A and B are shown apart, each in its own frame.
Chain A
Amino acid sequence: MNEERAKPKVSPKREPMTRQDPHVRRHNFEEVALGYTEEQAVREAQRCLSCKKKPCVSGCPVEIEIPEFVKFIAERRFQEAIDKIHEKNSLPAICGRVCPQEDQCEKMCILGKKWEPLAIGRLERFVADYEMRKGEINIPKLPTPTGKKVAVVGSGPAGLTLAGDLAKMGHHVVIFEALHAPGGVLVYGIPEFRLPKEIVRKEVEYIKKLGVEVVTNFVVGKTRTIEELLRDGFDAVFVGAGAGLPYFMNIPGENLNGVYSANEFLTRSNLMKAYLFPEYDTPIKVGRRVAVVGGGNVAMDSARTAMRLGGEEVYCVYRRSRAEMPAREEEIENALEEGMILKELTNPVRIIGDENGWVREIECIKMKLGEPDSSGRRRPVPIEGSEFRLGVDVVVIAIGQGPNPLIPSTTPGLKTTKWGNIIAEEQTGATSLEGVFAGGDIVTGAATVILAMGAGRRAARAIDEYLRKK
């Protein structure tokens, strides 16, 4: 075992989680991180100090009772552990996989002051998977129906969380999803190798078992407007429509064939299963050399997807340095291990095509870091005369997404920011329209799954209060 000096009972290092070998996983869409065994989970859970202050709980946007569920794991009471999580989180198998725990619960962990913090995310995932493997999922006792109806726009993390919460409070919830499958970014955005779609499907099943109705192929703003939903008999509406508008760079050549928005690239692969073409009908182009522009999680997902689709040289072109990359460290490491080539301090200036309108090269300029900008990060400044070209077959633009204008543009009186985000109170999600609440990326701009869930949770409380007063 490890050196056992200071605290003989606690290992300074967390239980490692087995992952697929990078050389193998680069060529498949199976999940990369394989999860803990029971033994590993129990050993890791025993590292918890069960401290009184529970700083980890304050780091969790949905306030899971972390020490309690961890204690259950340490005692091998796995079912009780997952029941404990389910009190606060309807989507634990998802959160255990994609939450940035290192910036939340685990960041607050006392163990982390000296050693590695408790692997809370991995433990959450372990018990969620434990219950899924068991096959039957415990449904909490539901209260007497209140007779109130709530419409939820979008079935992503904010909408699912809110729907689960409101159902547990006795309200009737109907989720309207524009695409043909529920899950929002969890199904169209996050790849299979990071979040298996079967997991999302099961989590949605859980929400449905709570009594929530899910209607797919329904575009709020088109099929029905929010005004009409309120007229149809819904007592409140929650808008969690997400950041569904891809940004482009507005550089020459962006409309060439072979230039994708990350949204399109990932939607084709994830939602439409283009990686199984021609068995599935949706095609996708990758070619041999791919440049992914951007440094966030979506960029990492795109680069790793490109490698799995056969891309041999996959570049990540990012205008700041690695230290400023907004992606999770773990995802950057995963991508680099798999062979992604990082071109930091590099900014595309134009994309060059051939005579048939296909991408051939991307011209970039080298950057250096100047004074800090409004975000506190040092502003990248171009180095004059440093232009160079990379030969590529495909370019994926992953520089961010904005709010989809479909709802604001069809909902008179719904106030938005100048960027088109819906203006909503942070603690309640209340918007400028009575009975209409909003949360998640459509309010905050592109952020994380768990932040959207937190917004859903807070809005659920506010909507419950609103409905009881109404």
Chain B
Amino acid sequence: MFKILRKEVLTPQTKLFVVEAPLIATKVEPGQFVVLRIDEKGERIPLTVADFDREKGTLTLIFQEVGKTTYHLGTLNEGDAILDLVGPLGRPSEIENFGKVACVGGGIGIAPVYPIARALKAAGNEVISIIGARSKDLLILEKEMAEVSHEIYVTTDDGSYGKKAFVTQELERLIKEGYRFAFAIGIGPVPMMKAFALVTTRYAIPAKVSLNPIMVDGTGMCGVCRVSVSGVTRFACVDGPEFDASEVDFDLLTARQRIYCEEERQSLERYQQSKCGGCERE
């Protein structure tokens, strides 16, 4: 069992947990992820590690409530425990002193960008961060990102906060203004990463994206997370999750993320009904 030591509600649908997981905390590096299962009947889902404290033996997990499992997870509180948590999985981000780097995070993708930006800064890079969300109330980790960045730009799709733009438009604007990025990392929803790949490819900037396909075991055993990278099938769980942005087949990723759309909807409806039923009985 993995105890939840702290819970923070970042936005109405985005929660942060600090979880006790000393073994994983001693080994995890930026870019890696964990797989968790809430309880005996739960499914296994991957979550990128948003932060870690080796001394305290804790991991920070940030997730958005989108399906049954994440909604259920969001109902857990400090003192509750997650049944299974395994990691650290996947390859760590390659942290080098590149020079000037762009760290681009969209929506929930800001969470995994944060430890990478911090590590890049610690490695001596000039970190230019661009973060964004659909609207102001969905924006997370602005303060934390500002602390690990030399410059930070904030956008929202609807203009409710920061600049009304997509993060990738802001990235392109900076490049046009003369920012010479030696490296860029972009994490967020697939359409954002696809646009990020287009921009970085257009300006020949070496760039990575972190992919989030469906996973089960997370150790290369099942192959459900297969993605196409420069035409070759790779397993995101062991070969990734980061790949060269220009080489990823994002359309395939989008299609494969939708495999269980119908079941996910069914599962969520059933869960919400059962919760309402529970209220009535009380």
Contacts and interface: CB of A to CB of B under 8 A. Distances in A.
Interface in B216-271: 216-217, 219-224, 226, 228, 233, 238, 252, 255-256, 258-260, 263-264, 266-267, 270
B219 A178 contact: yes
A281 B267 contact: yes
Interface stretch (B11-19, B82-90, B114-122, B171-179): B82-90
A229 interface: no
B68 interface: yes
Contacts of A188: 217, 221
Interface stretch (B40-48, B140-148, B156-164, B195-203): B40-48
A217 B69 contact: no
B216 A264 contact: yes
B6 interface: no
A178 B24 CA distance: 13
Contact of A404 (B219, B264, B266): B219
A217 B223 contact: no
B23 interface: yes
B217 A283 contact: no
B100 to A, nearest CB: 32
A246 B238 contact: no
A180 interface: yes
Interface string A172-183: 000000111000
Contact of A222 (B41, B68, B88, B264): B88
Contact of B228 (A248, A255, A277, A279): A255
B7 interface: no
B37 interface: yes
Contacts of B84: 180, 216-217
Secondary structure type dominating chain A contacts: loop
Nearest to A264: B222
Interface string A56-98: 0000000000000000000000000000000000000000000
Contacts of B150: none
B27 interface: yes
A317 to B, nearest CB: 19
Contacts of B83: 180
Given A224-B23, A406-B238, A285 B86 contact: no
B260 A283 contact: yes
A223 B27 contact: yes
Interface in A196-246: 216-219, 222-224, 244-246
B216 A223 contact: no
Contacts of B44: 180, 272, 282
A267 B221 CA distance: 9
Interface in A153-203: 178-180, 188
5 contacts: A222-B219, A224-B27, A246-B223, A278-B267, A282-B216
Interface of A: 178-180, 188, 216-219, 222-224, 244-246, 248, 250, 254-255, 257-258, 260-261, 263-264, 267-268, 272-273, 277-283, 285, 356-357, 404-406
